[in-house]
Amino acid sequence: MATLNIDIEKEQQRVQSELEKQGLRVLVCAGTGCVANGALEVIKKFEEFGVKTGVMSAQDKITIIPTGCHGFCEQGVLVGIPKLKTTYVKVKVEDVEEIVESHIKGGKVVERLLYVDPKTKERIQYDEDINFYKKQTRTALANCGNIDAESLDEALAVHGYEALAKVLIQNDPNAVIDTILKSGLKGRGGAGFPTGLKWKFAAANRGGKSYMICNGDEGDPGAFMDRSVMEGDPHKLLEGMAIAAFAIGADEGYIYVRAEYPLAIKRLRKAIKEAEERNYLGKNIMGSDFSFEIHIKEGAGAFVCGEETALMASIEGERGMPRPKPPFPANKGLFGRPTVINNVETLANVPVIIRKGADWFSSMGTENAKGTKTFALTGEVNNTGLIEVPMGTTLREIIFDIGGGIRNGKKFKAVQIGGPSGGCLTEEHLDVPMDYDNLAKVGAMVGSGGLVVMNEDTCIVEVARFFMNFTQNESCGKCVPCREGTKNLLHILQKIVKGRGTEEDIETLEELSAAIKDGALCALGKTAPNPVLSTLKYFKDEYMAHIRDKKCPAGVCSALKQYTIDETLCKGCTKCARNCPVGAIEGTVKNPHKIDQSKCIKCGACYDACPFKAIKKG
Amino acid sequence: MVEEKSINLTKVDEIINSYEGKKTNLIAILQKVQELYSYLPMEAMTYIGTKMEGLSPATVYGVATFYAQFSLEPKGKYVIKMCDGTACHVRGSMPVYNSVISRFNLKNGKYTTEDGMFSVETVSCLGACGLAPVVVINEQVYPKMTTDAMKVILDDIIKQERE
Amino acid sequence: MTNTLFINGKEVEFTNEPNLLEVIRKAGFQVPTLCYRPDLTQFGACRMCVVEIKYPNGRVMINSSCTTPPEAGTQVFTNTDRVRKIRKTVLELLLANHDRECTTCERSGSCELQKYSKEYDIKDIKYVKKRPEEYLPIDRGNPALVRDPNKCILCGACVRACSEFQGHSVLGFANRGSKTRVQPLNGMALDKVDCVFCGQCKAVCPTGAITINNEIDGVWKALNNPEKKVVVQVAPAVRVAIGEMFGMPVGTNVIGKLYSAMRKLGFDQVFDTNFTADLTIMEEANEFIERFKKGENLPLFTSCCQAWVRYVETQHPELINHLSSCKSPQSMMSSIIKDMLPKTKAAEGYTKDNIVVVSVMPCSAKKAEIKRPQLMTNGQYDTDFILTTQEFAHLIKSAGLDLKDMEEAEADSPFGEYTGAGTIFGASGGVAEAAVRTAYNMLTGENLTNLDIETMRGVDKNSKVKDTVLDIKGTKVKVRVVSTLKEAENSLQEILNGTADFHILEVMACLGGCVNGGGQPISCNDATIKVKRAQALYTEDKELTLRNSHDNPDIKKLYNEYLEKPGSHKAHELLHTSYSDLFKGSYKDLK
């Protein structure tokens, strides 16, 4: 047992009483999504009001808290008033006055700014009644959206650094590893390797210099949970890293963040600075013998740097080309020293496991996958956003309950899970309890947790082409199967969407995919064919329609479709002609228009623009 | 044509020194140089590769051409980044992108307009998937873009520039 | 500690093999590889050496054997369907994107990609072929190396060689994905980017992407021209390597057979560069003693290696005063041939203008050396052609000869006699050892009692730096021997920061010296080849009666009759040279 010079309980009490003085807390989401929707202007407006009106009638004081991402990005700007148990959605600057006057001062809810349930069309006032939130179990994301991400005090108020204090007092690194092992926590970045085991391997090399790295290079298109944690609760991440570093005997750490996340970088820098100033990080943390310094490394735009050995190469200032394993980072990692690399979400789970115990964590989830998992729910679903549910939740619950079903009453077709390394699942998989093993069995993977929902208007071959184009662009170019193999997969898929595919192409796709899977150097290469393999498995008909019938059933592939104007529906409004980028549409006002097929580039601008649904594709 | 600023090696030196000349900071150094010039001039890369221990001009060039963030050509005053992540893609990022490309008549791998005003590029996921499709112009994020909305935004910028 | 594992069912012992691939080879099996080079770090990029590994816990993994450490109790399978499928796919993918004009390729017959394509029966390439517009220009802008990016398979061996041997990284990867290339900065020509032309990139290249500028045709033309007197000289390291190209055991010294082949080919005079190696020692030992006495420009840098000389000129012009002013043995030979033969052999028709000097060298940089403006006399280059060991073997073969069938012969007088000191020039440490033998004599008047200075020997990757302190009757002389420019740079840094305490610095750019030169027969797959070649040189040294350069009777005669004494005016005119600052105005000089 060790004694610390910071009494975390006393600190929590102090912070609580400080927070009491804030009066009515108004939480305005200042995550990337809401900022894009004007959150900063909303905050400014609120602040003007606070100053202008002085003492409120209902409350002594209001305090505006800019928070991290709530996850309900679809509905931004989100304004939450916890004491009044209300969350307003799609708030604009001009709505601020009404919220203040009517609700805060007058006690009358502003109905028109409440969330509308897409199924029942009812307006819902209380968070706990909104399906999007109701079905979630927030652990890693617990504080995101509920605290001021830029304040260490706010983090302390929600148990921040309590777990770190606990392990430092206990002073037994092996006990920390045992707890994590027992909790069953697995890596949330993709591969699902047991976190405790990773730590144990690295801890076996304790003694010399070791490193603790946090992988914040969230490159999977369609995933943004790590961004939300870094932006919304940076101290939890720092605490998780410090606990891991203590466990493995590291005194230096790096957070590798994508350059595309400037806000996350800014907030992390601020959090590190404040934590160091107040001795929650740095030399002799809280008066203990443990010291831990964290640096931030900004990525520069390379998906492959999410692969751990490539990430280390990038930290070392080199091209992010993966290195062969073995040696594994636990033995020979950054600068040739033992290293643990964990993903952001994994580390965000660590403090709460230490605080509430391994049993609490392992009581959630399935047999082989414990705890909760975040998913980024996007695409053609009503409620896009970031969610967290226990492992084993089904796709149906996520897409139809939390997600509120498919947009515009369209039909569900598939969901792409796990990003470019994952696969496409269909109707028949909606009731599979999602965990690492179950998804692997059906040819997909949890990956980082991107869920892109697709409706009947999505062409699955085009989606496979999209992913292959992505992987090909992002291949590091080092090993032959990935560099040359993905190029050829892409070439074949391009042929198919252009209507020039042959039946032998299907065979080549399958053969080449198998060789890439077996032969590529790194995990990214090995999983690159997954989108092709899974779509071939479940949507072979659609491939065949492109190849044999030269048709794109979803009407997406431009080479296989034609836009025509239905003269009976055309009112001659000229909107299509004005939107056509190549001037392929002719016609005079109030007379039916015509598309010149030789000029048409099949971009679909006319189709989107027509107010009378007179443009037909097919 | 886009004007190329002349290279001030003293400034590049300052950047190298602010990172203690360490090879491990090469990416950060290149980011700072790019901030300065809006791209990575060949002279700057040659200089860094010659000056810094453990590097060579070819190595620096190798790093610069590996990461998508770096540009070897001057960029326009307004850099339009069209997100083409999965979520944006299924929600129609490409028609928006194509409308910009054809408006500026950019082809054959060119992505900067003749007058040096606009550069257009695609990026893979900005992590704002809830707002798909997303466009970022310089620092400003534009959510839920359509071809119409894009036209209005570009018209505004051009109007502003004329004034 | 000895452990065992199983390869294709056969139990095999292993001890300290760095990887599974070496264990597989030791067991007598072969797995193909295009990127593994034992003297370089493992890269794992080509995926040809993949094997199926069954671990004792039942797990089956496919991994590259060059990057996997051997593990006791594992079952390794080298030819399963799965791994053969990977190899075949890799070959097909590479070939699809490759310039497949094999018949006109310099590496036809020695290309590893070609060899494996045959072994794996690649008949039909179903992948998307390289399009004409994707072809990149070939760099033929320098006298030494030809770089053809269309034959590059991106194995990265040259990039590693340039970085790990030379610390120079003239070549690097650029771009990523299918746009990845290996190239100098921004695709510039090699002669514009401080390449020293050591040819180690070529030595490790599995295909014809980097080759040496072939000058066989020019030599044939000279040989077939009755007006010309074609004189040939052969470097020390050639004699112990060229036999490999005729199926002779590695490390066979074939010098006698080589002389006869040269005569059969029609060379008018056959000389041995070993003679001028002895001459170099006379001049360089004398130069060292003078500098040592004055305490000037120490440490003295050897100047036999052109790649090293060019490195100092381009990277450290501030240190060119340290370079010995002696020409390389090759250049000395050409100078004295062109200066003396028109006088001594005028009767046989040798004139100032009709002599063609052909030098057979283990080296690509020599092709650049002979174009140095300092090595011209009266507007003519002293040396006309450099042929590498490989080129010379081709020359012999193209004349329909087989080296094996040649009888033993002697070189011609007066530049054919040599001592053991001259022959060891071909291995790293040899120049220094030879110089010390003679310097000792010059200072003391006596010969060293033990001529074998073992601390200066060794050519493997663990012998890149060798320090020796000699006690010359109470005077301590410290000699440093370095191979690879990366190590040389470390020594230069010591000099620049004032911590260097050595008096002589011998540098050879190629690992192990000329025995492993860029022009030697391909040996990059086996690290022991250069060791055996060096061994053959030391054996010859040991077997020769004369082992000190100053004891060479023809050298004595040359000084007596022509040059007077080491360092004389005439010696300077013929045997010494000067250096210039090549950083100035180069692509790196931005001021």
What's residue A56's pLDDT? 45
What is the interface size between A and C, counted as CB pairs within 8 Å?
107
User: Lowest mean pLDDT: which of A116-130, A342-356, C409-423, C498-512?
Assistant: A116-130
Report, as an integer, the average pLDDT of B101-130.
85
Distance from CA of C258 to the nearest CA of A (A): 42
Q: Subunits with at least 3 CB pairs below 8 A relative to chain B?
A: A, C
Residues B24 and B59 in one domain: yes
What's residue A349's pLDDT? 97
Determine the 3-state secondary structure of B20 from DSSP.
coil
For residue B72, tell me if it sits in a domain. no
Chain B positions touching A336 (Cβ under 8 A) are: none
Q: Report how far residue C12's alpha carbon sits from residue A286's, in angstroms, rounded to the nearest whole number.
A: 55
Question: Would you place residue C1 in the very low, low, confident or very high pLDDT band (cuts 50, 70, 90)?
Answer: low
Residue C194's CATH number: 3.30.70.20
User: Which residue in C169, C175, C590 is closest to B58 by CB distance?
Assistant: C169
Residues B141 and B112 in one domain: yes
User: A460-547 adopts what CATH topology?
Assistant: de novo design (two linked rop proteins) (1.20.1440)
Whether the CB-CB separation of C197 and C158 falls below 8 Å is answered with no
Whether the CB-CB separation of A507 and A471 falls below 8 Å is answered with no
Residues B112 and B149 in one domain: yes
pLDDT tens digits along A129-167: 888 888 899 999 999 989 999 999 999 999 999 999 999
Residue C74: C-alpha distances to residues A206, C30, C61 (Å): 28, 18, 11
What DSSP element (H or E) covers A34?
helix A32-36
User: Which residue in A508, A518, A521 is closest to C44 by CB distance?
Assistant: A521
What's residue B84's pLDDT? 87
Residue B5 has pLDDT above 70, yes or no: no
- Domain limits of chain A? 19-129, 152-361, 372-455, 460-547, 562-617
Segments forming the whole domain that contains residue C36: 1-128
User: Which residue in B7, B9, B46 is closest to C587 by CB distance?
Assistant: B46
Distance from CA of B25 to the nearest CA of C (A): 18
Match 């062969």 to its residue by tokens. Answer: A324
Residue C260's CATH number: 3.40.50.1780
Report the DSSP pairing between strands A115-116 and A372-379: unpaired
ipTM above 0.90, yes or no: yes
Chain C's closest residue to A473, CA to CA, is C177
Chain C positions touching A477 (Cβ under 8 A) are: 154, 173, 175-180
Residue B114's CATH number: 3.40.30.10
Label residue C157 left, alpha or beta by phi (over 0 means left) and psi (-120 to 50 means alpha): alpha
Residues C147 and C257 in one domain: no
Report, as an integer, the average pLDDT of C457-486.
96
Chain A's closest residue to B141, CA to CA, is A36
Q: Subunits with at least 3 CB pairs below 8 A relative to chain C?
A: A, B
Residues C285 and C403 in one domain: yes
Q: Do A218 and B87 touch (CB under 8 A)?
A: no
A19-129 in CATH: which number?
3.40.30.10
Residues of chain A with pLDDT under 70: 50-60, 618
User: Which residue in B43, B56, B65 is closest to C168 by CB distance?
Assistant: B56
Interface test mutation site (partner A, options C46, C89, C183, max chain A beta carbons within 10 A): C89
Q: At what angle do helices A173-183 and A344-356 cross, to 10 degrees?
A: 100
Segments forming the whole domain that contains residue B36: 9-64
Residues C97 and C187 in one domain: no
What's residue A52's pLDDT? 46
Interface test mutation site (partner C, options B59, B67, B108, B124, max chain C beta carbons within 10 A): B59
Q: Do A221 and B124 touch (CB under 8 A)?
A: yes
For residue B3, tell me if it sits in a domain. no
The shares of helix, strand and coil residues in chain B, as percent rounded to the nearest 5, are 50, 10, 40
Chain B positions touching A221 (Cβ under 8 A) are: 84-89, 124-125, 129
A471-475 — which CB contacts under 8 Å span 24+ positions? A471/A420, A471/A524, A471/A528, A472/C177, A472/C178, A473/B124, A473/C177, A474/A219, A474/A302, A474/A303, A474/A304, A474/A420, A474/A524, A474/B124, A474/C176, A474/C177, A475/A304, A475/A524, A475/A525, A475/A528, A475/C176, A475/C177, A475/C178
User: Would you tell me which residues 134-193 of chain A have a C-beta closer than 8 angstroms to some C-beta of chain B?
Assistant: none
Q: Do A36 and B129 touch (CB under 8 A)?
A: no
What's residue A60's pLDDT? 58
Nearest to C427 by CA among C527, C524, C532: C532
Dig out the tokens for A17 from the structure.
């009483």
Interface test mutation site (partner A, options C33, C51, C178, C180, max chain A beta carbons within 10 A): C178
Report, as an integer, the average pLDDT of C57-72.
96
Residue C414 has pLDDT above 80, yes or no: yes
User: Would you tell me which residues 75-114 of chain A have a C-beta closer than 8 angstroms to some C-beta of chain B?
Assistant: 76
Distance from CA of C84 to the nearest CA of A (A): 10
pLDDT tens digits along C305-347: 999 999 999 999 999 999 999 999 999 999 999 999 999 999 9
Residue B2 has pLDDT above 60, yes or no: no
User: Which residue in B46, B49, B65 is closest to C174 by CB distance?
Assistant: B65
Q: Considering only the top CATH level, what class is A152-361?
A: alpha beta
For residue C89, tell me if it sits in a domain. yes
Residue B6 has pLDDT above 80, yes or no: no
Chain C positions touching B39 (Cβ under 8 A) are: none
User: Which residue in C168, C185, C590 is closest to B61 by CB distance?
Assistant: C185
User: Would you tell me which residues 13-32 of chain B have a C-beta closer than 8 angstroms to some C-beta of chain A?
Assistant: 22-28, 30-31
pLDDT tens digits along B45-99: 999 999 999 999 999 999 999 999 999 999 899 999 998 888 888 888 988 998 9
Q: How many CA atoms lie within 13 A of B142 on its CB side?
A: 21
Q: How many domains are contained in chain C?
A: 3
Residue C392 has pLDDT above 90, yes or no: yes
Chain B positions touching C175 (Cβ under 8 A) are: 65-66
For residue B71, tell me if it sits in a domain. no
Q: Do B95 and A302 touch (CB under 8 A)?
A: no
Report whether the peptide linkage leading into residue B133 is cis, meaning its omega lies within 30 degrees of zero: yes
Residues C196 and C261 in one domain: no
Domain end marker among C150, C176, C209 = C209
User: Which residue in A300, A384, A473 is closest to B129 by CB distance?
Assistant: A384
Residues B143 and B85 in one domain: yes
DSSP state letters, A255-309 = EEE-TT-HHHHHHHHHHHHHHHHTTSSBSSGGGSS--BEEEEEE--S-GGGGSHH
The residues of C whose Cβ lies within 8 A of any Cβ of A are 42-47, 50, 62-64, 67-69, 82-83, 85-86, 89-90, 93-94, 96-97, 126-128, 153-154, 156, 173, 175-180
Residues B50 and B113 in one domain: no
Determine the 3-state secondary structure of B148 from DSSP.
helix
User: Which residue in B7, B42, B56 is closest to C186 by CB distance?
Assistant: B42
For residue B128, tell me if it sits in a domain. yes
Report, as an integer, the average pLDDT of B133-144.
90
**What residues are paired with A116 via a beta bridge?**
A123
Q: Do C590 and B9 touch (CB under 8 A)?
A: yes
Q: Do B127 and A32 touch (CB under 8 A)?
A: yes
Report the DSSP pairing between strands B140-142 and B135-137: antiparallel
Q: Do A378 and B24 touch (CB under 8 A)?
A: no
Chain B positions touching A385 (Cβ under 8 A) are: 130
Interface test mutation site (partner C, options A484, A508, A511, A526, max chain C beta carbons within 10 A): A484
Match 């030379």 to its residue by tokens. Answer: C166
Residues B100 and B140 in one domain: yes
Q: How many CA atoms lie within 13 A of A229 on its CB side?
A: 34
A562-617 in CATH: which number?
3.30.70.20
Residues B93 and B157 in one domain: yes
Chain A positions touching B143 (Cβ under 8 A) are: 33, 36-37
Q: How much is the CA Rg of chain C, to the nearest whole Å? A: 25
Domain end marker among C157, C190, C209 = C209
For residue C562, tell me if it sits in a domain. yes
Distance from CA of A485 to the nearest CA of C (A): 7
For residue C543, tell me if it sits in a domain. yes
Chain B positions touching C184 (Cβ under 8 A) are: 58
Q: How many domains are contained in chain B?
A: 2
Domain end marker among C209, C237, C256 = C209
Q: Do A297 and B98 touch (CB under 8 A)?
A: no
Dig out the tokens for A529 from the structure.
């064919």
Report, as an integer, the average pLDDT of C550-560.
97
Distance from CA of B100 to the nearest CA of C (A): 26
Match 């610095």 to its residue by tokens. Answer: C505
Burial readout C149-170 (b: 16 or more C-beta within 10 A, e: otherwise):
bbbbbbbbbbbbbbbbbbbbbb
Residues B158 and B82 in one domain: yes
User: Which residue in B9, B50, B56 is closest to C172 by CB distance?
Assistant: B56
Alpha helices, DSSP H only, in C295-429?
306-315, 329-344, 365-369, 389-398, 420-423
User: A372-455 adopts what CATH topology?
Assistant: Ubiquitin-like (UB roll) (3.10.20)
Dihedral (CA of A221, A227, A229, A232) sign = negative
Residues B49 and B84 in one domain: no
Whether the CB-CB separation of A242 and A348 falls below 8 Å is answered with no
For residue C265, tell me if it sits in a domain. yes
Residue C57's CATH number: 3.10.20.740
DSSP state letters, A151-219 = -HHHHHHTTTTHHHHHHHHHT-HHHHHHHHHHHT-B-SSSS--BHHHHHHHHHTTBTB--EEEEEE---
